[in-house]
């Protein structure tokens, strides 16, 4: 079987290309490789896929059967909940409101971002990281994947996509979204406000 000659790097044939995506067209978007003068068109599906963030939008959720505890910090107050075989309990051994606690756990299980706002300090500053409205720490069971614990922070509402004229019949008000991030990750997300309402209002 033919193979590389002595001393020849097996990866010598590999090359690195930079694909540049330009303005949109009716069929997709203009594109080119690196500094090549040749311009071609990629399909809309390709342009959208390459422009999308690769970070998962469901990284803040945990399945219900993997939850071991939830701690909610809001306005200086801390509510710590742990899950046992007979249900959820407060830190002092009491039994929290069943319906409100079920809703809280359900929201942890399904929270999903609609999009990624950005990465790094600039995106986090935009999201109000200096003073989050609520911090929700999720503790997972020993059988859950890492991390065993992570904290979701809830920032202010995003008003950047609000219509200029809310009374206009041609432009309905957009559903509100809020900035949300996981403190151990670099990404900042937008999440529908309704999806985090239980975090903002929870009381045991």
Task: Provide the domain count of the chain.
Answer: 2
Same domain, 139 and 197: yes
In a domain, 74, yes or no: yes
48 and 69 co-located in one domain: no
Contact call for residues 88 and 80 (beta carbons, < 8 A): no
Give me the sheet containing 149-158, strands edge to edge.
87-90, 77-84, 67-74, 134-140, 149-158, 177-182, 187-192, 115-119
Q: Assess whether 92 and 162 both reside in one domain.
A: yes
| Same domain, residue pair 68 and 8 | no
Q: Which residue has the tokens 């996509």?
A: 161
Same-domain status, 80 and 166: yes
pLDDT in tens, the chain (204 residues): 555 555 555 555 677 878 888 888 888 888 888 778 888 898 888 876 776 666 788 999 999 999 999 999 999 999 999 999 999 999 998 999 999 999 999 999 999 999 898 889 988 888 888 889 999 999 999 999 999 999 999 999 986 654 444 454 455 556 799 999 999 999 999 999 999 999 999 999
Instruction: Please indicate, yes or no, if residue 41 is contained in any of the structural domains.
Output: yes
Domain containing 19 equals 1-52
């Amino acid at each position: 079987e033919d193979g590389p000659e002595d001393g020849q790097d097996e990866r010598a044939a590999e090359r690195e290309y930079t694909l540049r995506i330009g303005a949109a067209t009716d069929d997709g978007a203009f594109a080119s490789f690196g500094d090549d003068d040749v311009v071609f068109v990629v399909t809309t599906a390709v342009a959208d896929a390459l422009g999308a963030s690769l970070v998962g939008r469901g990284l803040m959720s945990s399945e219900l059967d993997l939850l071991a505890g939830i701690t909610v910090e809001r306005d200086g107050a801390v509510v710590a909940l742990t899950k046992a075989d007979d249900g959820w309990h407060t830190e002092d051994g009491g039994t929290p409101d069943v319906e409100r606690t079920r809703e809280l756990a359900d929201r942890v299980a399904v929270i999903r971002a609609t999009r990624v706002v950005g990465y790094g300090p600039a995106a986090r500053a935009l999201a109000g990281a200096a003073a989050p409205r609520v911090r929700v720490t999720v503790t997972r069971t020993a059988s859950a994947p890492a991390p065993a614990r992570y904290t979701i922070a809830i920032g202010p509402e995003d008003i950047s996509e609000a219509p200029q004229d809310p009374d206009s019949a041609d432009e309905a008000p957009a559903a509100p979204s809020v900035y949300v991030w996981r403190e151990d990750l670099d990404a900042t997300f937008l999440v529908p406000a309704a999806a985090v309402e239980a975090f903002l209002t929870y009381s045991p």
